[in-house]
Amino acid sequence: MGIPIAIVDAFTDEPFRGNPAAVCLLDRPAPEPWMQAVAAEMNLSETAFAVPTGSGFDLRWFTPTTEVVLCGHATLATAHTLWETGRLDHAHEAVFHTRRSGELVAVRASDAIELSLPSDPPFGADVPTELAHAIGAPIVAAFTCRQGWLFELASEEAVRALTPDLRVLASLREQGVIVTASARDTDFVSRFFVPSAGLDEDPVTGAAHCVLAPFWAERLGRLEVVGYQASARGGTVRARVDGNRVRLTGHAVTILRGELLVTPAPR
């Protein structure tokens, strides 16, 4: 018997927008090489692997080339899939246990999903000259965070038009680069580049908004902010800073359901 798998567009209520994630529902833990091979075969920004436990689900995420510490959109997609397939009752929250990001929780919020993720406030820093040149646009302010770098640019137009030198960014050893600026229709606009993890540009990034939410909340003097990630697919993320957590709200749309016929070898 095969293993259930789905493709879900996250942080959107429209098919073929937002950020697609594959969600693999396992009955028991699988070997890392098998999960990495599945993620490479799916060839999406992330593939999530969920295993039921007595108190929720163990959750891991892989890009086509590596495992990542935190992935918001694939977590949202996993919660959506668990509720939609009946593996989790709609009235129950989805509790995920992760290796390096602690416990993550998803709850239904009307027709959307709210995620509770760890906050990652940025700290001011001096940007290396080579990296500044690689961004290819004037940097108003530079910061470091667990995700890597956050650069504030002068305008929404500068963020949307940016074409950084991905070769230089790929040398950052799995650190990403977030660029952001204030925006007209939302509080801010952003993009996220992480070629060192196999993703030239991530379409809509929950983990990046764990940085962006506290950054813009402090700038704007309020706890709730709305951002638009201006990738080719694009997606809107609503965020609320709650102490050392960030609560992100978004929609999800299932695009495909099927099963993996190649299963992990028994341990």
List active site positions: 46
Would the CA dihedral through 171, 150, 161, 192 be positive or negative?
Answer: positive
Tokens of 112: 């959307």
Q: How far is CA 99 from the centre of its chain?
A: 16
